[in-house]
Structure formats: structure tokens, C-alpha cells
Structure 1
Amino acid sequence: MQVILLIGCLMAGLTVANAQIWKKVKDRVKQTVENKITQKSQDVTTNAMNKAEGAIQGKDGQPAPTTVTGGDDKAVVVGGGNAAKSISDYKSYDFVPGDKIIFEPDISKEADAELPARFKLLKGNAEIQSYEGEKILHLDEGGSTSITPLMSTESYLPEQFTVEFDMSFENKEDYMRYANYFDVVFMKATQNFFESPVYRLRITSGSAVEWATGGHIRLAENLAKALSTDNKWHHIAFYVNKNIGKVYIDAFRVAASNTLNLGAEKMAINIDGRYGIKIKNFRLAAGGSDKYNKVITDGKFITHGILFDVAKSTIKPESTGTLNEVVKMMRAHTELKFEIDGHTDSDGQDQANLVLSQQRAAAVKDQLVSMGISQDRLTTKGFGETKPIDSNDTQEGKANNRRVEFIKM
């Protein structure tokens, strides 16, 4: 009897086990089918977007950037591939920074564990830290932190401006799984920073952004994953001209609106989550005039949009928007020839600055030639620190003096 009972128990156990196994098999098959359907849908969407982009290429042959706007709660995929880190990755980038820098704090000489000298702490905790051989601004984890540029006036944003900075979410498991939000808010001068903003960018859960009143815009999986888990630097950029506003993350334009509310005069950065973030290379610039009109009226144009690694002639990928603009102008006006002039600020030795400015001008020429401009239309010179256009006594003045000029020949 005991033997029969034992056999019965074993058979029952096997039946349950088999049932569980078959359930897992069925679940696995179901998941596989769903994945294939999802992948097929993504492939169709990607192909359609690629065809659309090909259909709207500019006259100069440059591929048009992916521009996506979303209505309320629209889930629109933007940004494909891996996080862009080279000029070739940025080939469709169209962001061009403003032509006069009004805020660019140099934190390289600030002491670790101190509050940032050029930012006002509104709440929480932010401090200067050394990270991978450079100074960065760290916004602390475990709560809510807000900072704003420390300016002499509460009203410092013009009608047309650009904002840029590099940001890294801290990868301690999966940052965005626990983060409530990351905001860049734009306010009226008379507003308290904790009132409803004129408009804002919000990155939510690492997979979507909200810009102005455009609703949710879903980021492509690779870009969303890179933002939340790779613990690397990502370039954030804003272009605003009255009611028009565009947002870029790395090489991708992730949101755009032509219905911004008017009246933004100051800004702040807010985080609220379990882990912190790192920020560096913050820059706020005004204006952004048409470069060809500058050439016609002034015989030259000045750009701060071609950026280089510190003390090197290596061009940063986010310079591609400005380079694309120059290429487009020279293709449209084939009579144009330019002398490319490199300029530095007064930091460092005079001779070293002269050599560096020459090397940077040559690097710009080489890059434009690689983009299809004939080399006989370009020459180069370097002037080091000898021709400042602003005072070298302030950080913003030095930033304005670090520039590339295109002189019509």
C-alpha cells in the first residue's frame, strides 16, 4: 500500500512538473512571437522614417535630421543606433550655438567638496568633484536638488538663445528605474523657481522626454538605455528663438515645438531621484545670426560652435552642426573662399597658444575638405591670444575669445 501511495505521489509530482514545463514552453513561444512582431513593427517604422528622410534631403545633399514632435501622450520614437561619439555619428546634426557667450563657468580651479561658485543652489546639495582627471559639478542623490546660473540680474535670457551641457546619470544599478525626473525649466524673472515654468524639458524614466506642451516623446531603445545605464557623458542642447524651441540629446534632435510660451527670462536644472547626476561644460549663449548675411555685410563671420578638446586641436563631435552650416553655405555659393583663423584666450604661454590656434585652424580646414569642400577654397592662419574681441578678465570673455573666424577672400 505504501509503495502504491509513493508511486501515486511521484506521478502527481511529475504531472505538476510537466504542466509547469509546458506552461514555460508556451510562455516562451508566446514571448518569441511577440518579440518578432515588435521587431517587425520597428523595422517597418525605421524603413518608413529612412525613406522619409531620404525624400526630404537638402539641396546640398546632406541628409535631413530626424525631427519629431509629439502631441499629448504621443509615443514617438526618436534617435536610433548607439550613442553618437564621433563626427561621422553627428552627420545630420543641425544644432548651432549662439554667437555671443553670456554664461560659461570655468570650474577647473574650484576645490572639491565646495559649492559651485557660479551656480546658485536652490535646494538639495551640489558640489564640485574631481572625476576622471577633470572637475565636474555633482548634483547629489537621495532627494531633490535644484541649481540655477548665478547672474547679476534675474532676467538674462534673450529672445534667441542656446543652452548646452554634458550630463551623466550615475549608474548604480539602473539609474532611471529609480529617478522620478530630470528637468530643465525656463521661468519668468519674477517667478519663484518652484512655480509652474514658462516651459520645460523633462526626461522621465530614461525612455521619454516632455518638451513644452508636446506630451511624451519616446526615445529609441538604444538611446534610452545609454542615457540610463552606460554611465557616460551625453551632450544636451537647446535652441530657442521666441516661440520656436528644439532639444537635442547627443546627435539626435529629440523634440521640437513652434508653440513655446513667450517670456522665459531665467532657467534652472532640477533632479528628483534616488541617484545623482554629473554635469560639465555648461554654456549659455545669445543670438544666432545668419552666417551668409554676416559674410555679405561684414566680410566674415565668427563662430563659437566649433569646439575642441582642451589644449588640443581635436574637433568635438557636437561641432558638426556648425560645420554642416558652413558646408551648406559654401555649396550654395560656390564663389566663396575663406581664410580660417584660429584664436585662443590668454591662458597659457603665448607661443603655445599661437601653435595651438594654427593647429586648430588647420583641423577645421581638413574637416571641411573631408566633407566635400575643395581645399583650394580654404587657407588657414593662427593668431593665438593676440586678437581678443572681449576681455580676458572674465570667464565669459575668455570663452568669447576662444573662437574660429571665417574671413572672406
Structure 2
Amino acid sequence: MNKQRTTILTKNALPLIVVAFLLFGTSNSLSAQTWIEKMGNRVKEKAVEKVEERIENKSEEAIDKGLDKTEDAVKKSAKKGKKGASTQKGGETSNEEMEASSPKATQQRADVSYTKYDFVPGNEVIFEDDLKGEQKGEFPSKWDLVEGNAEVAQVNGENTLAIVGFTYITPLFRDKSFKLPDEFTLEFDLLIDGAEGETAVEFINNSDEVIANSQFWKDNTRFLFNWNNNTNERTSEDTYDNSQGWHHYALSFNKRAMKVYMDAKRVANIPNITEKPVKIKLFARGPEDNSVFHIKNIRIAKGAVPLYNKLLTDGKIVTYGITFDVNKATIKPQSMGTINEIFSILQKYPDLRFSVEGHTDNTGNTTQNQTLSESRAKAVCEKLKEMGISASRLSAKGHGMSKPIDNNDTPEGRAKNRRVEFVKQ
């Protein structure tokens, strides 16, 4: 580059040199030659100085840009930083991925099809927290605090469990020695609000060590599942719908296999977890101490007995996986796992007929609950008819709160009483 710049400057000065040579004449050729050499040297020196100055300016500019990029990267990396080995893998998203996957403030919740949804919750509720009767601003009574802060908050007038800042909480059981059964399911609803934040569900062994965990972020679509943390740690990665609004998390564990669903999508399918989890912890963190992650409708259920086996032994199928909007007969989308299973049974056994019977807990008055249970039973029948089951094989009946199978004094008892039964005819 120096030679090129020097050549250009020399060419530009050449006419002046020629004129000077003619003025001096041949008699002064030696002096002219000396003058020309000096001029050439000065031109070269000036060119070199100019090039060096430009190179220095460009270098400083490049260094400044490099430092700016490094500073930005450090800031964003710090926001995605994790605490401990169990939460380190999720923060390795590039800046471009983060920007592309972050939801817009005006983005609406996408419609999701549950046509092939196959999650069926356990048939015995062992932990239920609907947060009813809890006071806003107080620590939720059915949870234990491991670290941080949590409180009851309200979203659109409905109680939620708000996990604040950097926090770990775990379900509180009456029996302090309680351990998760060999087969269980976990469900809860979570609010995606477009803010930055990380959430994890951690599974703990007898030594209080994390043996597996699922991780996801509110501000991007990554979903990670890490397992066998104490032996040969492995990781599965997928994406989920993080559009703003309420979403449903569902997990099933069957002796060693674990499946995780976000809304209708199965985001993890782990065939072999070497250690059995005995406890669950929920973790959330945001960029600020007052960052909040909202969840509600938390349920842990025991067992994974196939529905048809229950029909053979009991003459009916009692389901807890068909749920409805509050005080309405509108079937929630996540109910389709159970409904799909009932549909498959009816398809496989064409002579089978069901009386679909709705039941409620004792919340509200008798007349309203009777009407509500009838409407819900009819809604389930209509859904099965839409799927292709003949109306002649289905009938609807409501019992309201008249046939409880547990007491209504606890959230778990009320959850068992809110059910849909398929009674063989």
C-alpha cells in the first residue's frame, strides 16, 4: 500500500519536476538532478507519513469497534449466566438467536393443535395447589422456600405463585419424609410475558443432588433437558412456543423414562434416567432482583395405569386430565391427551358404550354445580362425536357435588372430586 500511495504522489508531482528541469537547463543538470532527488525524497516521506497516519487511525477505529462488541457480548453473557453446573448449558445462545427469537410486545399467543397430544396425568392426585384462599403478598402455604423469595400475586384478578428474583422452591408435603413414587406426573401453567428470565424444574435424588433438570427461557424458544448429571451427563435440546400468554407444562415419569411437554409439543423424550428422582425443585431467575415468574394450577399425580385396565377392574374410567375453564364447560386444550386415549379405546372396542358423568367439588352452590357438571359431561360427548364416535354410544349425566370420593377440605381432595367418569353401559 505504501508503494502504491508513493507512486501516485510522484506521478502528480512529475509535471512540476519537468518544468523545473527545463528552467535550469542542461548546464545546471547536476543541480537540477539533486533538486529532483530531494523533491522525490520529500514526496516519498510525505506519502509514507500520510499512509502511517491513516493506518493508525484505522487501527484505533477497529480497536474501538472490537472493544464495543466485546463489552456488549460480556453484558449479554452476564444476563444469561447460570448458577451451578445444572444451569450452565442454557446460556450459550448467540446474540442473533436471542434477537430473532425474542417475542414482540404485541405478539399474541399462537393457536396450538392438540390433535396428537398423548399426555395422560396420573390417576391419584398427591399434590395440588390452586392457590384459592391465599392472601396476596404472602408466601404460598403449600410450598417450602429453599432460597430467594416467592409470594402470592394476582394476574387479571386470579391468584398466581410469583417466583421473585433468584429463587428455589419445593412442594411442601405433610409427611416430611415423602418421596416421589416410581410413576408420577407433574403439571402447571406458566405465564410468558416477553421479559427476560430463566426457569428450571430440577429433579433431586436421596442425597439432595440434582440428577436431571429441564430449562427454558421466557425471552427465547430454547428448551433444554439435562439428565444423568452424576454419571454420564447428557443433554437434549428442542424449541417451544414462547408467545406471550399462559402456557402448559406437563411431565410424566415412568420408573426410568421421562417425557416433557410444552403445550401440545413433546420437547423431551428421555428413555433412561439412571437415578430415580425423589423430590422436585422449581427455580426461576431474571436480570433483576424483582423479576417475577408466574405459575398456577400446580399438580403432581401418582400412577400411570392404562385407562382400559381401570375399565376392566372397576367397570369405569375415572379421569382427572379433562379440565375446564373456571365455572364454564369449555374444555381446556391440554385435556386432549385423556380424550384422545378414550377415543382410541372406543375405536378399538366398537361395542363399548359409555355414560359420561361429570362431578364437581363443593365450591359454589348445589344448583350451579349440578348444571355445570351436566354441561361439562355434554361438552365431552360433543368432542368425542366431533372426532367420529357415534352419538348412540354416548350419554351425558351430571352429579354436581353429590358424589364426592374425597373430602373437600384440601386442594388435593377437591381436585379428586372434580372429575369426569366414563361408566361402562
1:359 to 375, 383, 386: 375
Pair 1:407 & 2:400 matched = no
CA deviation map 1:223-275 (0-9, x unaligned): 3xx42xx4311110101001110000011001111111232111110123313
* Distance of aligned partners of 1:92 and 1:83 in 2 relative to their CA distance in 1, 3 Å threshold: farther
Pair 1:215 & 2:235 matched = yes
Is there any run of 5+ residues in structure 1 with no aligned partner, and where? 1-72, 74-81
Q: Which residue of 1 aligns with 2:249?
A: 236
**1:338 Cα deviation after fit:** 0.3
Distance 1:345 1:363 in 2: 18
Structure 2 counterpart of 1:201, which letter? S
- Counting only pairs closer than 5 Å after superposition, residues 226-375 of structure 1 correspond to structure 2 as 226-227=241-242, 230-274=243-287, 275-375=291-391
Distance 1:356 1:165 in 2: 24
Structure 2 counterpart of 1:326, which letter? I
Distance 1:84 1:265 in 2: 35
Structure 2 counterpart of 1:218, which letter? D
Pair 1:114 & 2:114 matched = no
Q: Which residue of 2 aligns with 1:31?
A: none
Contact kept? 1:165, 1:236, Cα under 8 Å: yes
**1:170 Cα deviation after fit:** 3.8
State the SS of the aligned residue for 1:233: strand
State the SS of the aligned residue for 2:283: strand
Q: Which residue of 1 aligns with 2:201?
A: 184
Q: Aligned Cα RMSD in Å?
A: 1.8
How many residue pairs were aligned? 308
Q: Which residue of 2 aligns with 1:160?
A: 183
Structure 2 counterpart of 1:186, which letter? F
Is there any run of 5+ residues in structure 2 with no aligned partner, and where? 1-91, 93-107, 228-232
Distance 2:177 2:168 in 1: 16
Distance 2:310 2:110 in 1: 31
Contact kept? 1:83, 1:250, Cα under 8 Å: no
**1:304 Cα deviation after fit:** 0.2
Contact kept? 1:208, 1:218, Cα under 8 Å: yes
Contact kept? 2:377, 2:420, Cα under 8 Å: yes
Distance 1:170 1:373 in 2: 39
Structure 2 counterpart of 1:128, which letter? V
Distance 1:310 1:344 in 2: 11
Q: If the length of structure 2 is used for normalisation, what is the TM-score?
A: 0.69
* Distance of aligned partners of 1:290 and 1:282 in 2 relative to their CA distance in 1, 3 Å threshold: same
* Distance of aligned partners of 1:402 and 1:84 in 2 relative to their CA distance in 1, 3 Å threshold: farther
CA deviation map 1:97-133 (0-9, x unaligned): 0011111113132111111111111111111111112
1:202 to 215, 218, 221: 215
Distance 2:225 2:303 in 1: 25
Distance 1:83 1:250 in 2: 12
**1:83 Cα deviation after fit:** 5.9
State the SS of the aligned residue for 1:269: strand
Distance 1:197 1:261 in 2: 12
Q: If the length of structure 1 is used for normalisation, what is the TM-score?
A: 0.72
Q: Which residue of 2 aligns with 1:145?
A: 167
Q: Which has the larger radius of gyration?
A: 2
Contact kept? 1:84, 1:250, Cα under 8 Å: no
**1:155 Cα deviation after fit:** 2.5
